[in-house]
Each structure stands twice: as structure tokens, then as C-alpha cells.
Structure 1
Amino acid sequence: MLDSHSSFQERIIKILSNMSSSSDICPRIVSLECIPKLIPFFGDSTLAGKCAFILKNLCDVEEARVSIAETSGCIASVTALLETGSHEDQENAVTVLLSLCSQRVQYCQWVMEEGVIPALVDISINGNEKGRVGALELLRLLRDIEYAEDRDCSGSDIDASKDTTDLPKEKKSSKTSGFFAKIPMFSKKKK
């Protein structure tokens, strides 16, 4: 039904949104390969937020995170909501991106390629409470990730619960640390 261009698509998205709130149903939604079918609906401002909400709910399923990351245009669609969505839409988008980035270094790189930093900084200051907390957490995670351009990091797992502030300085990427150093909340205090 998501593939058809019927007048029921808005209702279908709303139903799918409600169904995705059940953790028991989420694996079934993922197995039906609905994630790629949601991408066109991000172009509709009335449905984009619902789609982000669905993805946020599905992120508890590993197969969903892989599908979100590997579906062409999905990360770009989610990151677009960081700038154009309501506070709730931004919060959902941040949650999706945080879920991805806490799993694999390559996902962090893909998210960074979308130029999310300015929008995340804005949300960390002007978003709703959950959005601000999530944006700050995502900014810290992106700051601390090692970006090894000369090797394949696609299988690297990240322990999101580990405090990565103790990473050796030489391990941090000069590509990202230069940008983050310009943001007061991430710059190191001079002694």
C-alpha cells in the first residue's frame, strides 16, 4: 500500500506510526521492508515527522538500523528534519541518528557527510529538552569518533556506554577536532 499512489497513504503512515509504538510489532514492520518505502514521504511536510517517529521506534531493531543506514537517501531525509522539522521532529531525527552513530563508525561518517553539525549545535541550544540532550550527546559522540580515512571501518562496533573523553589526542581526527574546537562547549579549557 505504501508503493501505491492512493489517497490512503496518509492514513497508512498514521497507522504504521501507531503500530511502530509496539516493540512486539517493530520486527515485523522491518521484515516487510517498509523503511525504503518511507523515504518519498519525507518530502511531504505533513508526513515527514510521522516517518521520523516510525524510524525512531524501529531503531531498537538491529535490522532496522542497518536498513536506515544503507537505504539510499534515508540518512539525508532524517538529517533534513534537523533544520526544517518541529521540535518533536528534530528530537525524533536526533534519536535516529544517535542510534545509528552509537553502533558503527561508518554510520557516523555517513551522518557527518550530511553536514549535521550546525543543525545539531542549534538544536542543542534552541530545541526542546529531549532534543537538546540528544543533540549534545550526538555532538560528543561525533567529536570522539576516530575517523580513519585510510582504512575501512564499516565493521567497527562502538561501545556507546564507554566514556570516550579519555581517547589519546593522537587518535582524534584533526578533521573534526578543528571544527569542534571552535564551539565553546567542546573547546578545551586553557590552564
Structure 2
Amino acid sequence: MDSRPDVSNVQSPILKLIEDLRSDSLDVKRIATAELRILAQSAEDRTVIAECGAIDLLVDLIHSTDSKTQENAVTALLNLSISEKNKIAIANANAIHPLINVLRTGNSEAKENSAATLYSLAVIEENRVQIGESGAIRPLVELLVNGTPQGKKDAVTALYNLSKCHKNKARIVQAGAVKHLVELIDHAAAGMVDKAVTILANLATIEEGRTAIGQAGGVCVIVEVVELGSPRGKENAASALLQLCTNSVKLCNIVIQEGVVPPLVALSQHGTPRAKDKARSLLSHIRSQRNGHARNR
């Protein structure tokens, strides 16, 4: 016997809502997108909605001139994108460019949910490249600077995923993100600090990123995270400092001047396994630097 649940009772109302997305009536489309937005919160309904062909229609409605319909369509896609299979289907439905347009021009909630959708899609590596190439990074940085608290959180989360792609690192630096990430680390809640530090650690693997971190006064705040951050924050802060120190004598001297050695010693003894490894490597490099200076006198 087939043990799958009978979805016919689920499909019928969903099919009606999907048909309503094609309606000439703005009110009908607004109601249908709102209901699909809610239904897509359920894992079972998420699958049915996608299989019944809603994704292409919802992507079309991102272009709606009605702000509420647009917001509902974006949020429905956000909820659908929780499913791994749907992440690929949404990107293949050419959703990325219209989502970026909403990021630039939508209302506050639509911008936030567009950023969250882009983050969700960027879990897939090939989507990260496409999102970066499509121009998402500058409006994400704009949201990071000027968004609501939720908007800032969604923007930093999206940038966090996009920064894992090497091609996006220079784009993030060129969009002026580093200064704002440094400010965020100084003032934000712990969860956002961890993501911001991870982005800086990723950016520190390229020369432009290291230069920008130095110019933005980022060394001081990263050292502070090594001392006072969460276990994950300390780990990524040590990783960022290791990149800065091993690639720039000037930045290494600044790191030392900021008093990094005592918190690094503590981290080398009590951090996560990866943090201990990074802290010990950095302490070894600092000792080599100091020994080199001593021999050169």
C-alpha cells in the first residue's frame, strides 16, 4: 500500500489560489498571494505549492505595482525557499533580478524579505555566484546601513552567505561594506556580531579586504571579539587576525599594539578546537615577528 498522505484535499484549495494568481483582479491576486504566503509556512504545503506550479507566477508578481501583492509574493517565495529543492527552482524561475529590484525599491518589509530570500537562495553555491553577478551586493549594503533592525539583520545574513563565494569578496569590499561591518561589530547584538566577524574573516583572505579592514579601524574591534566574543565569534576573529598578520607586517604590528597576546593565549587554551589552532598559529607568527625585529636591531 502507498503510505503517502492523500494530498488531493490539500491540492484543491491550493490549485484555486494558484489560478487566482492569474486573475485580472488586483484584489483577487492580493488575497491569493497573502494566503499562499501563510500556507507556505507548512512543510507539506510548501511541497504542494511548488509542485502545482506557483513559483513562476509568484516571481511574475514580484513585478506588481501593488506594494502589498509584491510583498506577499516575495514572502511566499521566502517561505517556499526553506525547501532545498525549491531554492534551485526559484533561482531557475529567474527570481534573482526581480528580488534585487525589490531590495532597491520595495517597502520596508518587502526589502527585508527580499534580502532574506536571497540569503536562503545563497545556501546553494551556484546561486551565490549568480546573486553577486546580478548586482545584489550594493543594495544589501544599503539595507545594512539604512534598514530597520530586522532589515540590517537580513542584510548581514545575506552578505554572510555571499561572502563564502570568492568572486563576491571584492564586490563586498567595493560596495563599502567593511566600514559598516566594523561599526556593526561595535554596537550590534551577539548573533549579528558573529556573522559580521565571519564576513570580515572571509574578506581578509583578499588584499582589498585586508586594506579596507585596516583603513576602517577594524583591527581594534576584531581584537575585542577575540577577548569578549562568543566562542564562534572568537574563532572567526582569530581567523581574520591570522590573515591580516601573515599578509601584512604593518597590520601585524597594529594587532600586537592592540594587546592581542593575552586574549590569544586564553583562546589557545580554552577555545573551540579550530579557535585553539588559529590562536596558536597567530601566537607563533607574532613570536617570529618579534624575534625577527630583535635580530634586526
Contact 2:239/2:278 (8 A) holds in 1: yes
Instruction: Name 1:31's counterpart in structure 2.
Output: 174
Post-superposition CA distance 1:63-95 (Å, at most 9, x none): 0011111212x1111111112222221110011
Instruction: Name 1:117's counterpart in structure 2.
Output: 261
**Aligned positions of 1:60-75 closer than 5 A:** 60-72=205-217, 74-75=218-219
**Aligned positions of 1:1-191 closer than 5 A:** 1-7=143-149, 8-42=151-185, 43-44=187-188, 45-72=190-217, 74-146=218-290, 170-171=295-296
Contact 2:144/2:153 (8 A) holds in 1: no
Gaps of 5+ in 2: 1-142
Q: How much does 1:115 deviate?
A: 0.6
Q: How much does 1:170 deviate?
A: 3.0
Post-superposition CA distance 1:98-140 (Å, at most 9, x none): 1010112111111011111110000100111111111011111
**Any runs of at least 4 consecutive aligned residues in structure 1 with deviations exceeding 6 A, and if so which?**
none
CA 169–57 in structure 1, closer or farther in 2 if over 3 Å, else same: closer
Higher helix share goes to which structure?
A: 2
Structure (1 or 2) with the larger CA radius of gyration? 2
Name the amino acid aligned to 2:201.
K
Q: How much does 1:171 deviate?
A: 3.3
Higher relative contact order (CA 8 A, sep 6+): 1
CA 103–168 in structure 1, closer or farther in 2 if over 3 Å, else same: closer
Q: How much does 1:168 deviate?
A: 9.1
CA 129–6 in structure 1, closer or farther in 2 if over 3 Å, else same: same
**2: CA distance between counterparts of 1:85 and 1:127?**
11
CA RMSD of aligned residues (A): 1.8
**2: CA distance between counterparts of 1:119 and 1:168?**
23
Gaps of 5+ in 1: 147-164, 173-191
Aligned length: 152
2:167 counterpart SS class: coil
